[in-house]
A and B are shown apart, each in its own frame.
Chain A
Amino acid sequence: DAKTTQPPSMDCAEGRAANLPCNHSTISGNEYVYWYRQIHSQGPQYIIHGLKNNETNEMASLIITEDRKSSTLILPHATLRDTAVYYCIAGFPGANNLFFGTGTRLTVIP
């Protein structure tokens, strides 16, 4: 699976959009980009994933660059409850193991 690189931490003002970047320059053609988050010490929560096209669901939007070497997770209106560690993962859909790494700690500031 491709390795991903994320900034260790970010701050975002409450109500503003949070844009979390992820680099995955070695991603292969069949690997998806997955995003999870972990609030405090709770179990990780799946957010969204995509292959080539941008994706949107009720939680977030995922923007993948045309060359697929990087992506951005967008939380359109961050709330205090979005404070968490966000993990960007590149992996094959049939893989049995997702490498979570250390993620980005997002702090939403009132």
Chain B
Amino acid sequence: EAQVTQNPRYLITVTGKKLTVTCSQNMNHEYMSWYRQDPGLGLRQIYYSMNVEVTDKGDVPEGYKVSRKEKRNFPLILESPSPNQTSLYFCASSSLTEVRSYNEQFFGPGTRLTVL
């Protein structure tokens, strides 16, 4: 089954304790992206990647890091989490093979992060 998986699905942590949220897709997609969703603010892009070893900042990258060492994986790293990073996080992927399908993004189930 074609899917995007995220782990963990729920996480409660404390300020300053480094954490990683994993994202993996099995569709051989070139494009992957991380979003955060907060009430009243919609989905905002954190980082994206057009292919292996190619990453770039989205709209709200501060406090986050990413890496793309393999095509299927795109982990989100919070080196020193703070309470304002409490949010619902989504990973997404899409194919860049056909222009028409560029924005047909497949989303993961989400990771709900609470930073105390």
* Chain A interfacial positions (CB closer than 8 Å to B): 32, 34, 36, 41-46, 49, 89, 91, 93-103
The chain A residue sitting closest to B88, CB to CB, is: A41
A93-B107 contact in complex given A100-B42, A102-B40, C-beta closer than 8 Å: no
What is the interface residue range for chain B against chain A? 20 to 34
Q: Are B107 and A45 in contact (CB under 8 A)?
A: yes
The yes or no answer to B21 lying at the interface (CB within 8 A) is: no
Q: Is the CB–CB distance between B48 and A46 below 8 Å?
A: no
Q: In angstroms, how far is the closest chain B Cβ from the Cβ of A41?
A: 6
Q: Mark B20-40, 1 if CB is under 8 A from A, else 0.
A: 000000000001010000001
Knowing that A41-B112, A43-B107 touch, tell me 5 more A-B residue pairs with CB under 8 angstroms. A42-B109, A91-B103, A96-B50, A97-B59, A101-B42
CB B23 to nearest CB in A, in angstroms, measures: 11
Whether A93 contacts B43 by the Cβ 8 Å rule is no
Docked-complex contact B104 and A96, CB < 8 angstroms: no
Contact B104 A49 (CB under 8 A): yes
User: CA–CA, A32 to B102, complex, Å?
Assistant: 11
When C-beta atoms are compared, the residue in chain B nearest to A51 turns out to be B100
B100 to chain A, nearest CB (A): 7
